[in-house]
Structure 1
Amino acid sequence: MMTLAEAQITSPAEPAAFFARWADMATWPEWNTDTEWVRLDGPFTLGATGQLKPRGGPKVAFEVTGLVPEREFTDVSKLLCARLTFRHLVDRTPDGATRVAVTITLSGPLARLWNLALGKGIKASVGEDLARLAAAAEAKGAGPRAGGEVAAA
């Protein structure tokens, strides 16, 4: 398994606000610039499946492989001989803010090839997409402070 990108943001929005945005997959293109559309086959639950279409790429099947409300959301996209995993963790900082961390990994026999095709673009956009997600979560009445801080690795 190889890590393509990691980023984190601190936000005044409640953890539930982030989960509401993740669960509303049809609106992902509003904050995720790499995504043209997303369709979930049913409710946002562990084991849910769907399809997404990256900008400039073919549609891809995915599955929600980890879901602990207000704590973790993991989805895995099935590529040819590889798996692209997005793991989102949410926790509280000592001062009561919400910290969201995203780790994107690739695994499988063709992971290195997929890294050449996708890695640079994903690494370049993950921090900005996370900042837009925080802005969307905060717009839903998150609290008195506005704006978040992003750190990308």
Structure 2
Amino acid sequence: MWSFEHSIDAAVTPAAVWSRYIDVDTWPAWNAGMEKVQLNGPFHAGGTGEVTMTGDARAPFTLTEVAVDEGFTIEVRVGPGVVTRSRCRIAALPEHGCRITHSVELDGPGGDEMGAAAGPILSGNITRGVDEVAKAAAAAV
């Protein structure tokens, strides 16, 4: 299994970050490589949708975990037996603000090889995505 994680501390509330997460229309603004996201129904565990990446590559996804003001996980099947899990987490800090953590993992046969090939792109997008969602949350307040 290949994985990458990045966190920052931001001077925003968990609710402000959560508002960006549940508004899937805004995902392309803070998620490099995404052009469009469609959610088929409410934002809840078991919900499904489709993301359109740059170049018109489309991938169906499933929300496997959702916790209000805490985060969510989506899964995308990317090959025979290989799953991409993307996690977005929010943790309130004791004094003010919150820690925002995004991670991605490629799990299954060939996950390590796929990660070795796509890892630099995926990790760069994750790092940038955390920074951008924090800015978007601050701007929305």
TM-score > 0.5 by shorter chain: yes
Query: What TM-score do the two structures reach when normalised by structure 2?
Result: 0.91
- Secondary structure, in 3 states, of the residue corresponding to 2:140? coil
Q: 1:1-153 counterparts in 2 under 5 A? A: 1-3=1-3, 5-56=4-55, 58-81=57-80, 82-141=82-141
- AA at the equivalent of 2:15: A
Residue 14 of structure 2 contacts residue 97 of structure 2 at CA under 8 Å; is this kept in 1?
A: no
Q: Structure 1 residue 46: deviation in Å?
A: 1.0
**Cα distance between partner residues in 2 of 1:103 and 1:57:** 24
**Cα distance between partner residues in 1 of 2:117 and 2:43:** 29
- AA at the equivalent of 1:25: V
1:3-51 per-residue CA deviation (whole Å, 9 max, x = no partner) reads 1x21112112111111111111122111112111111111111110001
- Secondary structure, in 3 states, of the residue corresponding to 2:15? helix
* Structure 1: segments with no counterpart, 5+ residues: 142-153
Across the aligned residues of Structure 1 and Structure 2, the Cα RMSD in angstroms comes to 1.5
**Cα distance between partner residues in 1 of 2:35 and 2:117:** 18
- AA at the equivalent of 2:92: R
Give % identity: 28
Residue 13 of structure 2 contacts residue 92 of structure 2 at CA under 8 Å; is this kept in 1?
A: no
1:91-134 per-residue CA deviation (whole Å, 9 max, x = no partner) reads 12222221111121110123134224421101122111211111
The aligned length equals: 140
- AA at the equivalent of 1:110: G
Residue 88 of structure 2 contacts residue 100 of structure 2 at CA under 8 Å; is this kept in 1?
A: yes
**Cα distance between partner residues in 2 of 1:125 and 1:88:** 13
